[in-house]
Amino acid sequence: MSATEADFVIIGSGSAGSVMASRLSEDGKNRVIVLEFGGSDAGPFIQMPAALSYPMNMARYDWGFQSEPEPGLGGRRLVTPRGKVIGGSSSINGMVYVRGHARDFDHWADQGAAGWGYADVLPYFKRMENWHDGGHGGDPAWRGTEGPLHVGRGPRENPLFDAFVQAGAQAGFELTEDYNGEKQEGFGPMEQTVWKGRRWSTANAYLKPALKRENLQLIRCLARRVVIEQGRAVGVEVERRGRIEVIRARREVIIAASSINSPKLLMLSGIGPAAHLRDHGIEVVANRAGVGQNLQDHLELYIQQAATQPITLYKHWNLWGKAISGAQWLLTKRGLGASNQFESAAFLRSKAGVEYPDIQYHFLPIAVRYDGKAAAEGHGFQAHVGPMRSESRGEVTLKSADPREDPRIFFNYMSQDSDWEDFRRCIRLTREIFGQQAFDPYRGKEIMPGDAAQSDAALDDHIREHAESAYHPCGTARMGRADDPMAVVDPECRVIGVEGLRLADSSIFPRITNGNLNGPSIMVGEKASDHILGKAPLAAENVAPWINPRWQVSDR
C-alpha cells in the first residue's frame, strides 16, 4: 500500500479532524491519512491545565495569526491563535466545555442546515462525552458517559466561586446545575475538558488511541491546495522535507483546518469568490461567493475587582508559587495545576424579549490577563463577559497565492450599534453582580474599568481599548442548502460544486453558538463522520430545553 495514497485524506488534526481520523478508521476497512503541519503536544505547557496562557502564546504551537487593524477597536490588531500542533486548537485552548444552547442548533436548521437542529445533534454530543459530574448534580439523562471526551468540573474550593453563584441568585437570576443539560440559563459550575489532571484534547481523546491502528497514518507536512481533476477532488498537494508531492485520496478529501485555514485552502484550490481568486491568478474551479465570508467571533472584557482578603490565586502568582504548583502537578497531576481555574459560569439574557441567553460569564479568582500578566493591584478577581450573538460579520481573504503566506483576517468587530449597547449592558450587569451581598466580605475597589468610567462614552472608550477576542472564530464556509449562493457546504458537509470534497470544522457554523466553540466543533467531526461513511444519522432526540417563562417581560 502506497504511503501517499488512502481512501480518505484529512487536512488538519484538530478538534474535528482528530475525531474524523478516529471514526473513519474505526472499523479497519478504510485507509486514512491525516495531514498536520504542527508537531507533538508532549510537554507540560500543553498538558497542564493551569498553564493554558502559555501554549496559545508560543510560536511552536500556534500559527501566530493577527487580524487586520480593527476600526471598531481603535485600529488595534488582535491576535488570533489557532493550534499548530496535533489536537489543533483543542491543544491550546482554555479547556472550557460548552455545547451551546439548543436554540443555536435549531437556528442552524432554520438557515438551511437540515438535520442539524438540536434534536439531531444532541445524540452526537452524547456519543462524544464521557461526563463526570463529581456528584454535584446535573442532568444525567441529557449527557453521555461512554464517549472518548472526558468532561468534568473543577473542585470549586475557592470561596469566590461560590460567591459568584450566590451573587447571581441575589441579583434575581436563575441558577443551573448543568448548563450543558436541559437548562443553560443561570449561574452554576463550569465544565472543563480535563481528565486525571491533564488537558483532554482531541489528540488525547481520539487521535493518539486511533494512531495505534495500522490503517491510520499521520503525515507532517504543509497542505498547499486540494488537487481537483474534472471537478473532483483527487488528492492534496503538500510540501514536506522541502519537496512538493501529491497525497492521493481514492474516496474523499476532507478539510478540517480551522475557520482561518480552511477557507484559505479552498481559495488556493480555486473554490471561492471568482473575482477574488482571479485577482490572485488562481484558476476558478467553483465560484462560491461565501468562502471566507460570514466570519464571526466572541469579544469579551475582563471586569476586575480588587479583593480585601488574600484568598485569590495571586498568592501563587510568583516564581516560587508557580514552581510548587508545577512540581505538585508533575508528580501527582493534582492541585492548582490540574484545573483551568474557570470553575464558575453564567449564561444570562441581556434584556426582556430575548428568548435564550446571549451573555456568557467565565469567573476567575484572580485578576490576570490572557497573556498571563497579573493585575498590579495584587489580590483580585474577575469576570470575563461578552455578548454571544453579535451582528458584526468579517471575512478571511487571501493576501497572495503563496500557501506559506497568512491569510488576511478582518473581523469587523463592533461594527453594529447593537454591539456597543450589548457591551455597556455587560459592564453594568457585572457591576450589579459584584455589588451583591455575597461579595461583601471580599470586595475592594474596581480595578477595571474603574469607578470613574460611568457614562456611555467612558464605557465605550474602555471597550474600544480593552475588548479582547475570546478566540472563537467560525462561520467562514457556512453550511446551508445546496441552492443557497452564500452556502459553501451542504448539510452533509460536501463542498458545493466539487465532487469528493468535504469540509467539517467550525467554518461550517451558519451562526456562532452560545459559549466556547470546542464542544460544537468536536460534535461537527462526530456527525460529519457518519455522513462521510454513509451511515444513517443517530436517531433524533426530541427533548425541549428550559426556556425562562418570564423571557418576554424580564431579563431574569
List, for residues 186-237, the tens digit of each pLDDT value.
999 999 999 999 999 999 999 999 999 999 999 999 999 999 999 999 999 9
Mind listing the domains of the chain with CATH numbers?
1-67+81-96+199-295+396-402+474-541 (3.50.50.60), 155-189+296-392+415-466 (3.30.410.40)
Mean pLDDT over residues 520-529, rounded? Answer: 98
Query: CB-based burial of residue 248 (10 Å sphere; 0-12 exposed, 13-18 middle, 19+ buried)?
Result: middle
pLDDT tens digits along 260-306 = 999 999 999 999 999 999 999 999 999 999 999 999 999 999 999 99
CA distances from 156 to 30, 269, 345, 385, 511 (A): 44, 48, 11, 19, 32
DSSP string, 1-59: --TTEEEEEEE--STTHHHHHHHHTTTS-S-EEEEESSB---SHHHH-GGGTTTGGG-T
Q: Which residues are catalytic?
A: 472
Residue 206 neighbours by CB distance under 10 Å: 28
pLDDT tens digits along 333-381 = 999 989 999 999 999 999 999 999 999 999 999 988 766 676 667 899 9
Are 461 and 339 spatial neighbours (Cβ–Cβ below 8 Å)? no
Classify residue 295 by its DSSP letter.
Answer: B
- Annotation-wise, does 96 bind a ligand? yes
* φ and ψ at residue 459, rounded to 5 degrees: -65, -40
Query: CB-based burial of residue 459 (10 Å sphere; 0-12 exposed, 13-18 middle, 19+ buried)?
Result: buried
Which cell is 54 given?
502559555
Instruction: Give the percent of the chain with pLDDT over 70.
Output: 98
Indicate the helix (H) or strand (E) that contains 199.
Answer: strand 198-199
Residue 391 neighbours by CB distance under 10 Å: 12
Mean pLDDT over residues 57-82, rounded? Answer: 96
> In the predicted model, is pLDDT for residue 21 greater than 60?
yes
What are all long-range contacts of 64-68, with beta carbons under 8 Å and residues at least 24 apart? 64/406, 65/260, 65/406, 65/407, 65/409, 66/406, 66/409, 67/409, 67/410, 67/411, 68/408, 68/409, 68/410
- Annotation-wise, does 85 bind a ligand? yes
3-state SS string for 503-526: ECCHHHCCCCCCCCCHHHHHHHHH
Measured CA to CA, the distance from residue 399 to residue 402 in angstroms comes to: 8
Measured CA to CA, the distance from residue 235 to residue 232 in angstroms comes to: 9
Instruction: Write down the pLDDT at residue 267.
Output: 99
This prediction's pTM:
0.97
pLDDT tens digits along 164-197 = 999 999 999 999 999 999 999 999 999 999 999 9
Alpha helices in 129-257 (DSSP H): 159-170, 202, 208-210
Measured CA to CA, the distance from residue 342 to residue 429 in angstroms comes to: 20
Are 25 and 217 spatial neighbours (Cβ–Cβ below 8 Å)? no
The distance of Cα 417 from the centroid of its chain, to the nearest Å, equals 25
Are 436 and 391 spatial neighbours (Cβ–Cβ below 8 Å)? no
Residue 351 neighbours by CB distance under 10 Å: 13
Nearest to 202 by CA among 484, 525, 492, 457: 525
Instruction: Write down the pLDDT at residue 261.
Output: 98
Nearest to 552 by CA among 346, 348, 347, 351: 351
Instruction: Write down the pLDDT at residue 233.
Output: 98
Are 293 and 395 spatial neighbours (Cβ–Cβ below 8 Å)? yes
> In the predicted model, is pLDDT for residue 396 greater than 70?
yes
> In the predicted model, is pLDDT for residue 1 greater than 60?
no
Q: Which residues does 362 contact at the CB level (< 8 Å), separation at least 6?
A: 94, 96, 190, 342, 345, 383, 384
Instruction: Write down the pLDDT at residue 537.
Output: 97
Mean pLDDT over residues 505-533, rounded? Answer: 98
Query: CB-based burial of residue 141 (10 Å sphere; 0-12 exposed, 13-18 middle, 19+ buried)?
Result: exposed
- Annotation-wise, does 95 bind a ligand? yes
Average model confidence (pLDDT) across the chain: 96
Instruction: Write down the pLDDT at residue 370.
Output: 64
Are 207 and 113 spatial neighbours (Cβ–Cβ below 8 Å)? no
Classify residue 67 by its DSSP letter.
Answer: P
Place of cell 452564500: 486
Are 289 and 487 spatial neighbours (Cβ–Cβ below 8 Å)? no
Are 278 and 440 spatial neighbours (Cβ–Cβ below 8 Å)? no
Instruction: Write down the pLDDT at residue 134.
Output: 64
- Annotation-wise, does 130 bind a ligand? no
**For the ranges 50-54, 267-271, 474-478, which has the lowest average pLDDT?**
50-54
Cis peptide bond upstream of 449, omega within 30: yes
- Annotation-wise, does 197 bind a ligand? no
Instruction: Write down the pLDDT at residue 315.
Output: 86
Mean pLDDT over residues 120-132, rounded? Answer: 97
**For the ranges 43-47, 176-180, 384-388, 484-488, which has the lowest average pLDDT?**
43-47
CA distances from 416 to 26, 106, 290, 389, 464 (A): 46, 24, 21, 12, 13
Which cell is 247 given?
497525497
